[in-house]
């Protein structure tokens, strides 16, 4: 009986512990919305800067970059004709998120980034 009570007490105490965040998103969602809605140079530039900020802060905090953000950044680089950098970010996405390999390969084929 004491063992059961001790177990229940431990479950209650450990249930109150907060989980550490898995990802840092910053204000990417808001900036993405504005970039899509307005589609002007400033809003797209702000979105790109917010992605760069997420990459930096995720590295500082030792967190993974959220899924898909490297792909979004690569797509912005492709629009700027910075293909080598785009390929590097697609490779980062595939390395961190293996389940995205199909999407990465599809984008590489679509934009001629295959090696």
Q: pLDDT for 38-83, tens place per residue?
A: 999 999 999 999 999 999 999 999 999 999 999 999 999 999 999 9
Q: Within this chain, do residues 90 and 79 fall inside the same structural domain, yes or no?
A: yes
pLDDT-derived band of residue 16, with 50, 70 and 90 as boundaries?
low
Domain that holds residue 111: 68-115
In a domain, 3, yes or no: no
Q: Within this chain, do residues 75 and 102 fall inside the same structural domain, yes or no?
A: yes
pTM score, two decimals? 0.81
Helices 28-38 and 41-61: angle between axes, nearest 10 degrees? 160
Sign of CA dihedral 15, 21, 26, 27: negative
């Amino acid at each position: 009986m004491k063992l059961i009570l001790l177990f229940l007490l431990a479950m209650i105490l450990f249930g109150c512990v907060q989980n550490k965040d898995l990802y840092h998103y910053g204000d990417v969602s808001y900036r993405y919305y504005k970039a899509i809605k307005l589609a002007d140079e400033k809003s797209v530039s702000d979105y790109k800067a917010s992605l760069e900020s997420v990459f930096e802060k995720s590295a500082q905090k030792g967190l993974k970059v959220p899924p898909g953000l490297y792909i979004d950044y690569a797509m912005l680089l492709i629009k700027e004709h910075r293909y080598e950098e785009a390929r590097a970010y697609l490779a980062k996405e595939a390395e961190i998120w293996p389940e995205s390999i199909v999407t990465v390969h599809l984008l590489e084929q679509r934009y001629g980034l295959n090696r």
